[in-house]
Amino acid sequence: MFMTDSVLVKADSQPPSAQLRLWAARAASEVIDAGRSSHDAISGVLLTNPASDRDQALVKEMALGVIRWYWTLEEILQQLLKTRIRNKDRDIFLLLMIGVYQLKFMRVPAHAAVDATVQACEPAGKPWAKSLVNGVLRNYARRSADIDRQLTSDAALSAHPDWIRAHVVAAWPQAWKQILDANNAHPPMCLRVNLGRIERNDYLVQLRKAGIEAVIDPHGATGLIVDKPLAVESLPGFFKGWVSVQDTAAQLVVPALNLQPGQRVLDACAAPGGKTAHMLESQPALLEVIAVDIDRERVKRLRQTLDRLQLTAQCIAADVTQIDTWWDGVPFDRVLIDAPCSGSGVIRRHPDIKHNRQPMDVEALCEIQARLLESLWPVVAAAGRLMYVTCSVFPEENQNQIYAFLDRHPEAIVESLPMQAGIDCAVGRQTLPGVHDMDGFFFSMLKRCND
């Protein structure tokens, strides 16, 4: 693990580029070794070590690169290191990963990547490691093509832990390589235009006036795909509620609900509020929207999302499966379960999932998903619909859940979905990263018939 913040920032005389490498290595370590999310780890490092926007972007790129390509970088270093680096010098190992990542994947000149990473050993409190880091990185710069050809393990070649790779191969034998490759790619920035405020084509014009290039999402009525990711503060009208950031797969959910005026809607597991907001934007004449999430802090984010968009819903912090604690007994015409899941369909956006998810987590999540379906089915009105959604590509979280639910509930039938994107799974549709140019989502619509 890394030294304290006081050690990290004390060497102000060091070149800024060296500090950036050290901060990136520290953020990567907090994900890989301490189980934090990449967002929290990188934000935490940058909060305590202020930097320019350009330098923050570099720190983020290097940290996410090591998190994303860890297994590949690890096998490269195993070839380059004569002896294993001790656990107490784990920070040096992560710095070496930062250096190899720059040499292999970034357009940083080799001499700059090597020298800056070597200099980072000083503020890390380990000047003795300079010669080691210098020798290893210069060796890789000279022999990278030969060393890369010697990568042999499935983990190194796919940059995924074995269990995720095996799951994806078993589930999608014809598409597994496309999925894994997409997981390792930089994700696009996707926008959802609030059509209640501005037409999509008009907003596209606003983007281009601001020097931001984007294209229209062909799968939905609200989506735009931005050429290059940027800070949300740079988006025209962001604080006026004109637009939100949301992947194009997630934007397929609300149109499929076919919301009508006067309906009562429940958004279970609602935070941070993207789909709640989309509901209210798409059908302003809904009778009521109740948004529930178990995490109070996430409910705060949900309220902030709605406030920015000038929308209103009843937001409740509660365990949605304990219906007696929040439900007034009036059935819902539509229920959305955006279920907690492995996140295996959004690894390209959250590469920390590769490190922080384990096979036993999927088993536990499947139990939660089944409990959500069972607990919320009674709140669905006669002839009402319940939509089950995950951002997973694992069948046990998706179609297998629906088949099991249908076995338990003969009064439930699966309705066809209006979307064309994705693969027909008989009881729903599945989008796949790398196959459908969007995140991996599963969608299933259940209608309640006469009990």
φ and ψ at 360, to 5 degrees?
Answer: -70, -25
Domain covering 189-245, topology: Alpha-Beta Plaits (3.30.70)
The pLDDT of residue 227: 87
**134 burial level (CB within 10 Å; 0-12, 13-18, 19+):** middle
- Give dist(CA 315, CA 428) in Å, integer: 29
- 370-389: buried (b, 16+ CB within 10 Å) or exposed (e) per residue? eebbebbbebbeeebbbbbb
The pLDDT of residue 184: 97
Residues recognised as catalytic: 391
Q: Which amino acid, residue 146?
A: D
Per-residue pLDDT of 231-248, as tens digits, reads: 999 999 999 999 999 999
Cβ neighbors of 222 (< 8 A, separation 6 or more) are 192, 193, 194, 195, 200, 251, 278
φ and ψ at 30, to 5 degrees?
Answer: -65, -25
- Give dist(CA 386, CA 373) in Å, integer: 9
User: What is residue 350's DSSP assignment?
Assistant: -
Per-residue pLDDT of 323-370, as tens digits, reads: 999 999 999 999 999 999 999 999 999 999 999 999 999 999 999 999
Domain covering 5-158, topology: N-utilizing Substance Protein B Homolog; Chain A (1.10.940)
The pLDDT of residue 212: 95
Dihedral angle, C-alpha 13, 14, 15, 17, nearest 10 °: -140
Q: Which amino acid, residue 39?
A: H
The pLDDT of residue 6: 31
The pLDDT of residue 108: 87
Calculate helix-pair angle for 110-119, 16-32, nearest 10 degrees.
Answer: 80
Q: Which two tokens mark 220?
A: 């939905």
| CATH class assigned to 250-448 | alpha beta
Residue 267, strand partner residues: 291, 336
pTM of the model: 0.93
Residue 207, classed as helix, strand or coil, is: helix
The pLDDT of residue 50: 87
Q: Which two tokens mark 58?
A: 């570099």
- Give dist(CA 120, CA 110) in Å, integer: 16
φ and ψ at 5, to 5 degrees?
Answer: -55, -35
- Give dist(CA 33, CA 17) in Å, integer: 24
Domain ranges, ordered by start, for the chain: 5-158, 189-245, 250-448
The pLDDT of residue 13: 46
Q: Please state whether beta strands 380-390 and 442-448 pair in parallel, antiparallel, or not at all (unpaired).
A: antiparallel
Residues of the chain with pLDDT under 50: 3-13
